[in-house]
Amino acid sequence: MYELVVSDSFSAAHHLRGYKGKCEALHGHNWKVEATVASDKLDSLGMVLDFTDIKKALAEVLERYDHKYLNETADFSEINPTTENMARMVYEHLGAALPRHVKVKSVGVWESERCCARYFGS
C-alpha cells in the first residue's frame, strides 16, 4: 500500500451552535488541512496519482469554505462547523473527487497550531 500526503489551508469564520463558551461567538481560523490518500496500484510512471492532481482536488474542496462564514454554507447549515465535522466533510468531498483506485485514508484539520481533528472514515 502506498500513501501520499498533501496539505493546504484556508481562512473562514464560524460559531458553534449550542456551545457554552467563547466559541459560541463568531470567530475565525486559518485552518490547515492535511489529506492522506492511499492505493495499492501504481500507474505506468510509477505513481499512485500525480501530486498536482491531488493538490488540485483538495484546493477545489477547500474553495467551498475559503473566506466564508461556515455556518451559512450548505455543508454546515444543520450540523455544527466543528473541526471534527470539517475533517469529515473534506474527507467525503475529496473522496468523491479522486479516481476509484485512490482512497482517502484520513483528513486532519488544524484550527490552530496546537489543535487538530482527524477523520478516518469507516
Active site (catalytic) residues = 23, 67, 111
Residue 84, phi then psi, degrees to nearest 5: -60, -45
φ/ψ bin of 121: left (φ > 0), alpha (ψ from -120 to 50), beta (otherwise): left
